[in-house]
């Protein structure tokens, strides 16, 4: 099925470990982004990309790296996991049509990460 695929769905890390959250979309969307969701808060933007090779920081980028080597993939790397990074992570893709009209957001199903 077309959409945004996130893996893994669940992950437990020890403090200091590194890992990569995977995100792939098959809709040829130019924009991709990562959000985190913490209890009592809405989703907050971590990093985003406006196309292959172009990334930028969002609201809460510290402790995370991203790269966009292809249109389809946008992995999120945790360099040295900390308990404060325990959260649910969502990847989203979006696009603009030829009339420069927003074409909608598609969210992945989320990754629940626990850092102990």
> Would you tell me which residues interact with another protein (CB under 8 A)?
31, 33, 35, 40-45, 48, 50, 56, 58, 88, 90, 92, 94, 96, 102, 104-105, 107, 109-110, 112
> Residue 18 or residue 57: which is nearer to another protein going by CB?
57
- Residue pair 50/66 in contact (Cβ under 8 Å)? The answer is no
Closer CB to another protein, 11 or 17, in the complex = 11
* Shortest distance, position 62 Cβ to another protein, whole Å: 17
Phi-psi group of 104: left, alpha or beta (phi > 0 → left; psi -120 to 50 → alpha; rest → beta)? left
Cβ 16 to another protein shortest distance, Å: 27
- Please say which residue, 17 or 67, places its beta carbon nearer to another protein: 67
C-alpha neighbours within 13 Å on the C-beta side of residue 18: 8
Label residue 99 exposed, middle or buried (CB < 10 Å: 0-12, 13-18, 19+).
Answer: exposed
Rank residues 1 and 42 by Cβ distance to another protein and give the closer one.
Answer: 42
Provide the minimum distance between the beta carbon of 2 and another protein in the complex, in angstroms, as a whole number: 15
Q: Nearest approach, Cβ of 41 to another protein (angstroms)?
A: 6
């Amino acid at each position: 099925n077309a959409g945004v695929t996130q893996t893994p769905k669940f992950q437990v890390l020890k403090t200091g470990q590194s890992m990569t959250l995977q995100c792939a979309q098959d809709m040829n969307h130019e924009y991709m982004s990562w959000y985190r969701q913490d209890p009592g808060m809405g989703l907050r933007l971590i990093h985003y990309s406006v196309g292959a090779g172009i990334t930028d920081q969002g609201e809460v980028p510290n402790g995370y790296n991203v790269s966009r080597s292809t249109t389809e993939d946008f992995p999120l790397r945790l360099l040295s996991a900390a308990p404060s990074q325990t959260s649910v992570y969502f990847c989203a893709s979006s696009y603009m049509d030829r009339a420069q009209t927003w074409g909608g957001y598609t969210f992945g199903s989320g990754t629940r990460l626990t850092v102990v």
